[in-house]
Amino acid sequence: MANPGVADEWKRHPPAEPRASDSQPGPGRLDAFLSGADILDIAHDAPPAAGRKIRPHAIGVDLLYPGYDGKTLPFANDSQDAVFVSHTLEHLADYRTALADWFRVLRVGGHLVVTVPHQFLYERKLTPPSRWNETHKRFYTAASLLAEIEDSLDPMSYRVRWVEENDDGFDYHIPPDQHATGACHVVAAIERIDRPAYADAVMDRTISGPDSGGYLQVHRIDQPEPILAIESDPALPQRVVAIKLDHRGDFILAKPGFAALRAQFPQAAMTLICGPWNRDAAHALGLFDDIVTVDFFPEVSSHAHEKSSDADQRRARAAAQDRFEQAIAGRSWDIAVDLRVDQDTRPLLAKIDATHRAGFGATEDFPFLDIALPFINPTAAGRAYRRVLKADQFSTHIGTHEGFAIVHPGSLRPYKPGAGLIYGPYATFEAGRWDMEMIIEPLKERFEIAYDVCADGGNDIFAYGLLSVGGATYPRFTIQLEEPTRGVEIRLWTHAAGRVAPFRFLGIRAVKTGSFSALHQQEMLALLAHLVGLRMRNPFSTRDLPA
């Protein structure tokens, strides 16, 4: 199956950030890069109005532009003097294909100018999701924008002419939880050059292709790089805080982990932060010098799944975090250890004043962790699980959202890459075997519809085939995921050999088969406690180690 069109991502939400042309870095500073008769102005949501185009004679391009499918520009190779792309790249999972196609239409001597919101001016967060636009896939600085350009284009075909982190008029007094004012973007301009005849001899290895549009350099390493490691404090911690904000059942399972952590630091003053309903049980253990209670989760775990709106859930999470911060205000520790296996409390470690922080997860997800124990949650990964993916989590090119359904008029068009009938929900799925029941109801006659399941912009395809719609049961298919997968996309297509009749799409019931092949929660908590003790007792040195 082909990759989804860039249109699949562009169509869903308008950007919250302003166009870079609204806050240009200064009079005339783009003139050198946006000159010539043939200029494209590519926007994320819609072509800019005549008064807002980067140049009056520029051609504004969006999904409504004739012949444009959101993936391949309907312009010939080497046909443009300049291409200006404002606040678009951050919305696209497959940045390589987008950059390669924007670059393709440039003439030698032409310029590609790309602007993206700045991570520490606009986003003002370490990791996604964005505070202001949920469709942002990545955060940018000048370095990361240049890295994506280098990852996508032949380095012998362009030169970087200008890079700027623009903060003109930026108000540094506005706190991160309020939308920024003033310029807050990164802008880069590259010039297409005539690729020299010796270019192939310069490169060690090139990998390129129509599917990815990407370009990979593989460099020889003549000398081994020094090995460095993080150094912990040479002295054992004297103040330790353990966080266990779980429900009653998970708290009981954590008792061996509590005992293991106390055994690692018998002389330390140890604090426990737990739910108020677990205070008496914590006192009875006799392991903690101080117990702080925070009403963070419901007392009974089943109550956590009661129906509430997304807005109510966000408000409840914000209120719980406020209670946590108030409870720890003015206190500090040598090391903070989060003993909850699920990762929803891991961000609380970043709010604690502690020299070291330890917990489950990967440092890629939680860069503030000094001691991280990667894992697959056995409780989550091993259990049977059911989820409903409602139709309002999906997008459609032709159909319309009506309540909790998408009503589609059908299609006579043959299969065409980038022309999916319905696509979404870009959700995270646990590892395991998933049985998918597609809730599709024909409005007229029976028909067949093509489907596929993928991630990474269509580069990883897990399943594909045909579904028969209109029988006694809803159509079903099965996928097997070997590891937790983010951004899973389920796409419905017009069948290549037939037509799709009108139908109503109500969503997908997804059921994961139960299995258990990982460590038990009690074992994982004890392992983390022992790891913390070993790491703090035997600190690594940051000196160069012999290769």
Residues 87-99 pLDDT 10s: 888 888 888 888 9
Residues 4-32 pLDDT 10s: 333 333 333 333 444 444 444 444 567 88
Domains 7-217 and 382-512 share a fold: no
d(CA 27, CA 181): 20
- Quick check: 439 pLDDT over 50? yes
Neighbours of 543 (CB within 10 A): 10
Residues 341, 360 contacting (CB under 8 angstroms): yes
Q: What is the dihedral of CA 92, 94, 96, 99, to 10 degrees?
A: -30
Summarize the confidence of residues 343-364 as an average pLDDT.
89
Q: Which of 17-31, 246-260, 341-355 shows the lowest per-residue confidence on average (mean pLDDT)?
A: 17-31
Residues 148-174 pLDDT 10s: 998 888 889 999 999 999 999 999 999
d(CA 225, CA 246): 43
What was the pLDDT predicted at 500?
84
d(CA 418, CA 74): 14
- Interacting residues of 508 by C-beta distance below 8 A, sequence separation 6+: 388, 389, 436, 437, 438, 439, 490
What was the pLDDT predicted at 458?
75
Residues 376-396 pLDDT 10s: 655 555 567 788 999 989 988
What was the pLDDT predicted at 107?
95
What was the pLDDT predicted at 222?
47
Provide the residue type at 307 as one letter: K
What was the pLDDT predicted at 2?
32
d(CA 184, CA 147): 19
Residues 536, 240 contacting (CB under 8 angstroms): no
Q: Which of 43-57, 109-123, 149-163 shows the lowest per-residue confidence on average (mean pLDDT)?
A: 43-57
Tokens of 517: 């092949």
CA distances from 207 to 4, 145, 148, 156, 215 (A): 21, 21, 15, 14, 6
d(CA 284, CA 302): 25
Q: Which residue has the higher pLDDT, 304 or 346?
A: 346
Residues 304-325 pLDDT 10s: 544 556 677 778 888 999 999 9
What was the pLDDT predicted at 526?
87
Residues 485-544 pLDDT 10s: 888 999 988 865 667 889 999 999 999 876 655 577 788 888 898 889 888 876 554 444
Q: Can you tell me which residue has the tokens 């579904």?
A: 467
What was the pLDDT predicted at 308?
59
Identify the H or E element spanning 280. Answer: helix 279-285
Identify the H or E element spanning 380. Answer: helix 378-382
What was the pLDDT predicted at 51?
46
What was the pLDDT predicted at 204?
46
Does domain 7-217 correspond to CATH entry 3.40.50.150? yes
Query: What SS3 state is found at 316?
Result: helix
- Quick check: 248 pLDDT over 80? yes
- Quick check: 413 pLDDT over 80? no
What was the pLDDT predicted at 149?
92
Q: Under CATH, to which class is 239-373+521-537 assigned? A: alpha beta
- Give me the chain's average pLDDT, please: 80
Q: Which of 52-56, 336-340, 355-359, 531-535 shows the lowest per-residue confidence on average (mean pLDDT)?
A: 52-56
Residue 365: which pLDDT band, with cuts at 50, 70 and 90?
confident
Share of the chain above pLDDT 70, in %: 78
Enumerate the domain spans of the chain. 7-217, 239-373+521-537, 382-512
Query: What SS3 state is found at 496?
Result: coil
What was the pLDDT predicted at 5?
36
Task: Give CATH superfamily name and number for 382-512.
Answer: Galactose-binding domain-like (2.60.120.260)
Write down the pTM of the prediction. 0.41
- Cis geometry, peptide bond prior to residue 546 (ω within 30 degrees of 0): no
Q: Which residue has the higher pLDDT, 338 or 221?
A: 338
Provide the residue type at 224 as one letter: P
Residues 99, 73 contacting (CB under 8 angstroms): no
What was the pLDDT predicted at 203?
63
